[in-house]
Structure 1
């Protein structure tokens, strides 16, 4: 297996070792050479320092001896005899050699009275007259150097002592001999150079060798440098040691030849370099041997292994030459390759199965249309999500991976969060939960979870199904079914109720009419007349209540619909609505500029608006705002699928919103139910919204309510648009004529209702034949051939009204028929079929409506034959 680090071949390691050897040896040789040179320099300087010290000490002792001798001679009593008798001079002076110096007794004028070195033959100088040092020496002792010794002509060190009244004693020490003596005594094996300067290091007193040349020379005029890597006066590099001569302060420098001092170190370095070269040669030879006997066979082995790997044929023999270890390595590689080949085949099969499994899982996970979330079973941390979950929750995948599973739940769903953890059942199916999306929307979901593993962790896989739409549709369907059942119940009750109302209203009305002349003339009957009037008013209110029930049930008689402008209806009611709302409620109307016409009963639309305004007023006891909006909308298939009962097409939308107290969820679900109200007892029938619901749905529309506690209520109605043109109502108001004795066959199974109807018709001038059953009616028809009209109930115990009419038409062709029914048209459609061209009156029927309809049908029959279809409702 390859790694990111680069691996070097064995040859490179050998070369690197050789280079390391050369570098190490070179560094060692260099360091040894430098150290040897430093040691040689230090030893040479030490020798020079010692020699300078010895020479300075020796010179100091010699000079001290010279001073002592001069002072001794000058103070000797016999010195006066020397001045008096020069021939008696016997002075002797020696520092180790004949030419080291001499001792003279001088007269004040510089002439020599006695000398340890008499003038040689041919020498004329026997006086020091004119010497620069003489005047001072006559007065005080002197120690001066260098001075020229007139006797020898060489530089010398002069030491004088005064002989009072007679002259002086002077000793001349030869500086050249002094330097030679230092060199002979202390030059040693290094052949040190000795240089003596004045105390201020300004003038050379003597040098060895070649002292005569350099004595008296100014140091500044030479190349002398005695510090660091020194240089002598001739420019030769030297290593100097220095010492001071006692009493005189002279500086004695002993200098070793630097080149000679470093010669041994250089020889040692050369020997070491030779040894290193021999070692390098041996290393090269060893590297060649290793290259041929080890590296090359290993390279051949690697080539063979690579070829087998590249070809994929690992079942091959790898043979190499070389040492036994290398040959055995080749055999072991052959065995290893065969083993690896078998393992690779098994691994390939396992990896292919794993990849197939991973592909299937990944495809199922990534392509799942349902959101899938993997979360840690212990900590509930989300560890993986699929693209459907990212799209569903509206959060980036990275954000979801930083959340816990409980972060997806609605805040008040703590129990569901706990159940989703490690304590949950192994497999939980269809657990209802509420999840919150990125925009704050709370969705109802069904979650199935089961344990699994992911990246070595124990996790649970949650498959999430959004059931918000399904739950919404189910709730709406349940509400629709409940309202439908209540509507059928209301329609069924209305039949008997209408019969009772017809009897009550008929008798009370007739009694009130009969008493009206008497009550006007006699105050005693006035109270009874008033009571009858109240009964009639109560009956009218009961009739209106029945109409509301039938409106809710969408089963009342067909309204008088016509094309109209919804904006016009709202505008015409504006004044009435503002008066009904009161001054503390603001009415805002926002009407569309391009309304579509609708087909509806304007009176019922006005009833819808008034009921909504009254409900809104009651929901805003402290005042508020009522907004009425209209807008054209088009319902598509998606919206229709989410709202049962709505068809696709064009609609005018009527939206009424208030800023009142609103409703809770429980109240909202029952808002359209009849007789359901949250108002105090006696403050409402509970039919307001139920009536609105019935009117809108009967018009082919759809009603929807939305409300939140503290945020008001909004009711939205969709009314189908029509392309029919509006037709103005130009029909004149007609009044019914009195009867002219026409014979009317009345068929009614309710005795009381039949009696009151017979009385109304009789009082209006008609001849009435009453029958409670179909058999009685058929008998009367056979015995009275001159029937002018059949007035029959639709639903009869032994035969329905349309069947009776059909039977009578056999013996009375063209007999006009008016049907009466306390049932709604919806129920009648399931129980009996009313022929086309017939007239239907829905109970309870007022006397005016009954007489007006009878007169109209008779007149029409007399003029044109059978009457057209006409349906009326009060």
Structure 2
């Protein structure tokens, strides 16, 4: 230690202090501490700088400190701007990416202090850099988690709202549909009235479709999930997608080895993939590539912490990637909201991705979109994986749509709906009893009154729920049948995203034919019944659709209409028809492709193609079908329908 009596004490003390300061600076390893000349050249270098930036002292002394900046920041003049601000204001502080010796980047908190002598002359700069990458990542994770939670809460709130609206709206549609069908049965000889009623019925159909889409978004649709092999499902859709998307879209498919099965509703999953693919096509107006991939994925707690709507576990990821125009951040954040669309007015409802979101969430999965403007989009769907074997695919049958003479108890609290249903059932020949709540219905059953079937709304007022009333009724009368109906089911019949086992449900709004078919499926075929064949008429021309529907009614066929291939696929899933009468040119897919897909799902479906242009041959179709050249007469239509039914 220096001796205070020594005349050289001040200089020795200064040297000792300088040495201690250097030792202190060199001992700091969490911060890069170094000096810069007024021109920005490195003049000192501590061990913390070497640890953080990776350079040894001899590699950086005398070099310009801009070497630590990213090329884009250096080109933008950020190093010089930092020195200029520190010179003018005495201090410069900010955060940004910096580059290590090995080229890797880290997020840095930087401080530059101007150093001046006693005369105020700038002699250099003190530079302090701290690696705060982990802190930034934690902040980003927290922000992402908050955003994901907010989005999940918002979507949950909107889902509850849309579910409630759909329930009430479906009751209104049920009254309209029931009364329109009753009026149609009395307007056989009035062409003007039939035309107006048909147009009104089509409007009800469109309203019912919108309600179904809203229920899908709100996770209120009754699903029937089963183990599905995702690779088989994608392969089964490949030909359809190629024809639907057109020649300008190149399709690639890939499925990983050892793929798990997924637990989902197969028809609804196909519709989701089709909707996403059609959106991708619209995002590639000049053509492009669509890639569909399936792979196993194990989501860990870290991922699920950033995405509050999913739990850790085994999933199968379906990724649908396009090379389209991409989306901005603002669009990505809203893309799953119902009725949000970037398409021109009239070109879409804005419910396609909303339906996909609702289906995936109700299936216990997770959906996410990755996209940047000009770089395409990736939609990733995660569905729960299962070791259970795939169930055999059995196409639902149409069943009989006749009336009968049995006694039906209608339990419905909405008086107008109740009156309409009673009229529909009476027109089918049934004896009808009514109750406006579950308790009254149970008392009627317990009184000994003969009832063959209970037709009850799911959501009822009062202390006794409809499901509990039905359970007690079946316990008292084991032979009694129960058919539930609802605009949406809340949690009464759907648990874990699936319809409870053994439950028969007819969703509102339903047609008279739907009601008749489901009742006969439960009660059995009525004696001497003769059901009229059901025709699914698909044509995008509204006037043509109304005219042909009238012609089919005159030929004693029941008719269900659709304006596009997507509507037809949904209609067949809800109400399978005996015969498809399709125009060859549809807005979203060729009629031949629609027929091929429907025959894959419903092998016994009869098909008639109609077109004003060239009709496809059987060799082109790959299956037998009847053909009609537009314009055609009533007799020509009658003959084509008969031929198609004989071929099937």
Sort the TM-score into its range (normalised by shorter chain): 0.5 to 0.7
1:554/1:698 contact within 8 Å kept: yes
User: Does residue 770 of the first structure (1) align with residue 442 of the second (2)?
Assistant: no
Q: Which residue of 1 aligns with 2:366?
A: 702
Match of 1:844 among 495, 503, 509: 509
Match of 2:229 among 558, 565, 588: 565
1:702/1:719 contact within 8 Å kept: yes
Deviations 1:638-674 (A, max 9, x none): 4444444344444333222222221122212212222
Q: Which residue of 2 aligns with 1:210?
A: none
Q: Which residue of 1 aligns with 2:196?
A: 531
- Within a 5 Å distance, the mapping from 1:492-507 to structure 2 comes to 492-507=164-179
1:351 and 1:715 map into 2 onto residues whose CA distance is: 63
Question: Displacement, 1:685?
Answer: 0.8
1:672/1:690 contact within 8 Å kept: yes
Match of 2:65 among 403, 409, 416: 403
2:108/2:129 contact within 8 Å kept: no
Question: RMSD in angstroms over aligned alpha carbons?
Answer: 5.0
User: TM-score with structure 2 length normalisation?
Assistant: 0.64
User: TM-score with structure 1 length normalisation?
Assistant: 0.49
Q: Which residue of 2 aligns with 1:684?
A: 348
Deviations 1:422-468 (A, max 9, x none): 39999999x7x65366799999x795869698999654646533134
Match of 1:671 among 335, 343, 352: 335
CA 1:626–1:762: 2 relative to 1, 3 Å: same
Instruction: Report SS of the residue matched to 1:546.
Output: helix
Q: Which residue of 1 aligns with 2:375?
A: 711
1:795/1:821 contact within 8 Å kept: yes
1:503/1:752 contact within 8 Å kept: yes
Deviations 1:242-297 (A, max 9, x none): xxxxxxxxxxxxxxxxxxxxxxxxxxxxxxxxxxxxxxxxxxxxxxxxxxxxxxxx
Question: Displacement, 1:342?
Answer: 14
Question: Displacement, 1:580?
Answer: 1.9
- Within a 5 Å distance, the mapping from 1:439-478 to structure 2 comes to 459=126, 461=128, 463=130, 464=132, 465-466=135-136, 467-478=139-150
Q: Which residue of 2 aligns with 1:752?
A: 416
Question: Displacement, 1:385?
Answer: 8.8
CA 1:367–1:461: 2 relative to 1, 3 Å: closer
CA 1:676–1:406: 2 relative to 1, 3 Å: farther
Match of 2:289 among 585, 600, 625: 625
2:26/2:48 contact within 8 Å kept: no
Instruction: Report SS of the residue matched to 1:755.
Output: helix
1:482 and 1:417 map into 2 onto residues whose CA distance is: 46
Count the aligned residue pairs: 507
User: Does residue 725 of the first structure (1) align with residue 397 of the second (2)?
Assistant: no
Gaps of 5+ in 2: 118-122, 526-572, 576-648
Match of 2:152 among 448, 467, 480: 480
Instruction: Report SS of the residue matched to 1:422.
Output: helix
Instruction: Report SS of the residue matched to 1:797.
Output: coil
Match of 1:653 among 308, 317, 337: 317
Question: Displacement, 1:413?
Answer: 9.6
Instruction: Report SS of the residue matched to 2:374.
Output: coil
Q: Which residue of 1 aligns with 2:268?
A: 604
Match of 2:214 among 544, 549, 556: 549
1:666 and 1:442 map into 2 onto residues whose CA distance is: 28
1:769/1:780 contact within 8 Å kept: no
1:633/1:652 contact within 8 Å kept: yes
Q: Which residue of 1 aligns with 2:357?
A: 693
Deviations 1:177-223 (A, max 9, x none): xxxxxxxxxxxxxxxxxxxxxxxxxxxxxxxxxxxxxxxxxxxxxxx
2:79 and 2:174 map into 1 onto residues whose CA distance is: 59
- Within a 5 Å distance, the mapping from 1:337-376 to structure 2 comes to 339=5, 365-367=28-30
More moved, 693-702 vs 612-621: 693-702
Higher-RCO chain (CA-CA 8 Å, sequence separation at least 6): 2
More moved, 399-408 vs 681-690: 399-408
Question: Displacement, 1:683?
Answer: 0.7
Question: Displacement, 1:680?
Answer: 0.9
Q: Which residue of 1 aligns with 2:597?
A: none
Match of 2:490 among 806, 811, 825: 825
Structure index of larger Rg: 1
1:662 and 1:849 map into 2 onto residues whose CA distance is: 42
Question: Displacement, 1:686?
Answer: 0.9
1:551 and 1:855 map into 2 onto residues whose CA distance is: 28
2:458/2:492 contact within 8 Å kept: no
